[in-house]
């Protein structure tokens, strides 16, 4: 019997429903159904083939469960009924004398023992632990034979995983590279000085990683000891090794980096968004590639950001290459990109204490510490904490006096801000605001410190001292925000820098609803991610790479379970059948090779989970067989029944939990 439990991301239920009813999605749905069904089929086929080889009578071979006799289709060939059950949560092979239901085990034993007397099968003498059993029943087989039958499903899943991974890598897989487009202020990567354009060349000894390796390495790495990264910085052609200790404040270990961007605008570029750069002259189009800024050639996203940061308040002249139509050469043109106006509400929030200090930064050299609060800059008030970094950038290369509140004592320090030509992304929940010019990150409290005269906040009547507890974005043409569009501001929920960042990306005409209680860098463009084709050069290379990929997937599942049981990661990262189907759909949309790798992961997952030592799973049966092999007799039927009930209760509880996560009945954070 197979059951799938896996770690995965989460879709919004509404978007999933809209996707599933579109006719264009039906081909992907069919592909997913066939793929998932085949993984289960392979597992049960292993049990079936080895059972037949041992002479065991297999009464049923089903994909899905025919609970209460409900089935979609079935037929009988020889002595076995083959079919598809109405409940699509796994599959099973029913062997004579075997029943995973503890309540039916005694009845099944009586039926199998009586089969020979009834004339259903020819009488044959038998020996072994159950001489009264029908010789073709599962319990009548020797312990090694039963071990082979039980383990065959897992072994077939491992073989299947190797073959699927080898096939995928033989075809070539389009994967995101391990370059960084930005880092989260205050995060582990930020604290170690990583920045836009850095290329991760090794993670924990694994060389030439892809971005998936980065996610897996961090999520399943050692949070206490940290994960070793080798970093190459193309800007100065330097390489260094750092140990990053993942943060866990977001519910899952992270180091705070974003995936790599190219200099090509994506195919789904949307009109009306700041990222569409609709005010550029002439307008930019989806698929355009930026080749230069103000006469300076650019090849990478980091070079583009560096070039645009030189004159952030002036229009930029972009050298653009536009894809030609079928049979036509690419077109080259010049585009004027005006500076993007920063959207503000007029709310000046309260600057909080320093959350983190970057290694080898001006702040570290000046002795700034987490917990310090900046109260003045060159004798002037701090003002809007979101504008502090721009003030400091304007003083790059000169001495600046910062007045700090350190545990109630005023301290003056001198610091020399540095020039900044990279991005530190505030679009993370609970993110502080980065003072990248000095290498510090400060918290921003949602309590209003001041209101700008004539601003939208002043017109709305918001007063200093009030605290923003919730914001909602109302799309153009609508009177109120969607039910799931609000952001709560609290210690664990999105921070004000996050809200200010989201404000820069909403459509023109969007309104902001703010609930109070009394008490932006960038070029305005969005880009495609950077990908590379990961593949094998020959059949044997594909088989070697596929084997490595499959066994890495097996290792990942074991590491995930270890992290889960040791309380290092949240069980809310689990996903059930609905989530598995969603992830399969995403993989199918990304291409056939990605779908094959998804099946590799799922098959490895099924192998590991089914072999856990839990009664009613294959691993539980194996534990009982090992006991019988050592003691020379099977365990007591009462003990088996009690343990099986406990195992069944555990599995059903887990399935209810993951279904609750899948359906949104249990929040994932």
Predicted confidence band of residue 17 (pLDDT cuts 50, 70, 90):
low
347-414+428-503 matches 176-258 in CATH topology: yes
More confident residue, 481 or 441: 441
Q: Which CATH architecture has domain 176-258?
A: Roll (2.30)
Q: What is the pLDDT of residue 268?
A: 67
User: What residue spans define the domains of the chain?
Assistant: 142-172+535-669, 176-258, 347-414+428-503
List pLDDT tens digits, range 240-266.
Answer: 999 998 887 766 788 888 888 888 888
Q: Which fold has domain 347-414+428-503?
A: Pdz3 Domain (2.30.42)
More confident residue, 469 or 44: 44
More confident residue, 110 or 531: 531
Residue 478 has pLDDT above 60, yes or no: yes
The whole-angstrom separation of Cα 38 and Cα 600 is 12
Cβ neighbours for 550, distance < 8 A, ≥ 6 positions apart: 158, 161, 162, 164, 165, 600, 603, 604
Strand partners, 487: 471
Residue 20 has pLDDT above 50, yes or no: yes
List pLDDT tens digits, range 444-458.
Answer: 888 888 888 888 888
The structure's pTM equals 0.72
Residue 66 has pLDDT above 70, yes or no: yes
Q: What is the pLDDT of residue 418?
A: 93
Q: What is the pLDDT of residue 482?
A: 61
DSSP at 67: G
Phi, psi of 560 (to 5 degrees): -65, -45
List pLDDT tens digits, range 399-442.
Answer: 999 999 998 899 999 999 998 888 776 667 677 889 999 999 99
Listed residue (445, 515, 455) closest to 481, CA to CA: 515
Q: What is the pLDDT of residue 11?
A: 34
Highest mean pLDDT among 163-172, 265-274, 427-436: 163-172
List pLDDT tens digits, range 197-207.
Answer: 899 999 987 88
Angle between the N-to-C axes of helices 592-610 and 143-171, in degrees from 0 to 180, rounded to the nearest 10: 160
Give percent above pLDDT 70 in the chain: 82
């Amino acid at each position: 019997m197979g059951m799938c439990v896996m770690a995965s991301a989460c879709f919004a239920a509404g978007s999933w429903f809209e996707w599933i009813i579109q006719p264009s999605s039906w081909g992907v749905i069919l592909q997913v159904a066939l793929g998932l069904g085949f993984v289960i089929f392979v597992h049960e086929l292993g049990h079936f083939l080895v059972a037949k080889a041992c002479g065991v009578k297999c009464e049923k071979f089903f994909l899905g469960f025919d609970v209460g006799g409900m089935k979609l289709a079935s037929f009988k060939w020889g002595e076995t009924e083959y079919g598809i059950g109405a409940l699509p949560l796994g599959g099973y092979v029913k062997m004579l004398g075997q029943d995973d239901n503890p309540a039916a085990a005694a009845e099944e034993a009586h039926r199998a023992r009586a089969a020979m007397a009834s004339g259903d099968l020819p009488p044959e003498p038998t020996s072994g632990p159950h001489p009264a059993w029908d010789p073709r029943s599962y319990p009548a087989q020797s312990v090694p034979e039963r071990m082979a039958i039980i383990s065959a499903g897992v072994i077939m899943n491992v073989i299947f995983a190797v073959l699927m991974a080898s096939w995928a890598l033989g075809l070539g897989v389009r994967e995101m590279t391990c370059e960084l487009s930005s880092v989260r202020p205050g995060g582990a990567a930020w604290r170690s000085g990583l920045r836009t354009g850095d290329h991760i060349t090794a993670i924990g000894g694994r060389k030439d990683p892809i971005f998936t390796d980065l996610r897996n390495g961090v999520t399943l790495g050692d949070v206490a000891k940290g994960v070793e990264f080798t970093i190459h910085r193309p800007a100065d052609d330097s390489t260094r090794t750092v140990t990053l200790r993942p943060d866990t404040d977001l519910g899952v270990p992270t180091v705070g980096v974003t995936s790599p961007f190219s200099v090509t605008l994506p195919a789904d570029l949307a009109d009306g968004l700041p990222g569409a750069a609709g005010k550029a002259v002439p307008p930019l189009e989806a698929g355009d590639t930026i080749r230069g800024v103000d006469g300076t050639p650019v090849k990478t996203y980091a070079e583009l950001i560096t070039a645009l940061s030189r004159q952030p308040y002036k229009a930029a002249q972009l050298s653009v290459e536009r894809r030609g139509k079928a049979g036509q050469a690419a077109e080259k043109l010049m585009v004027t990109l005006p500076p993007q106006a920063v959207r503000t509400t007029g709310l000046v929030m309260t600057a909080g204490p320093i959350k983190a200090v970057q290694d080898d930064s001006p702040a570290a050299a000046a002795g700034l510490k987490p917990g310090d609060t900046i109260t003045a800059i060159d004798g002037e008030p701090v003002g809007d904490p979101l504008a502090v970094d721009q003030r400091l950038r304007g003083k790059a290369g000169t001495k600046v006096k910062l007045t700090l509140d350190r545990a109630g004592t005023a301290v003056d320090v001198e610091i020399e801000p540095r020039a900044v030509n990279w991005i530190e992304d505030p679009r993370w929940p609970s993110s502080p605001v980065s003072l990248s010019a000095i290498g510090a990150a400060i918290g921003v409290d949602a309590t209003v410190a001041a209101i700008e005269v004539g601003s939208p906040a002043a017109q709305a009547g918001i007063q200093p001292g009030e605290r923003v507890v919730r914001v909602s974005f109302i799309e153009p043409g609508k009177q109120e925000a969607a039910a799931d569009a609000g952001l709560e501001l609290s210690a664990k929920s999105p921070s004000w820098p996050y809200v200010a960042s989201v404000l820069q990306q909403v459509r023109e005409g969007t309104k902001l609803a703010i609930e109070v209680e009394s008490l932006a860098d960038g070029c305005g463009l969005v880009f495609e991610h950077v990908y590379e084709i990961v593949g094998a050069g020959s059949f044997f290379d594909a088989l070697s790479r596929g084997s490595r990929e499959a066994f890495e997937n097996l290792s990942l599942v074991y590491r995930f379970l270890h992290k889960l049981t040791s309380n290092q990661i949240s069980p809310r990262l689990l996903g059930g059948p609905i989530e598995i189907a969603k992830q399969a759909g995403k993989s199918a949309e990304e291409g056939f090779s990605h779908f094959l790798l998804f099946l590799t992961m799922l098959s490895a997952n099924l192998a590991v989970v089914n072999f856990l030592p839990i009664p009613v799973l294959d691993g539980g049966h194996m534990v009982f067989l090992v006991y019988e092999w050592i003691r020379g007799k099977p365990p007591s039927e009462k003990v088996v029944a009690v343990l099986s009930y406990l195992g069944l209760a555990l599995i059903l509880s887990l399935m209810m939990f993951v279904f609750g996560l899948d359906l949104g009945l249990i929040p994932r954070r």
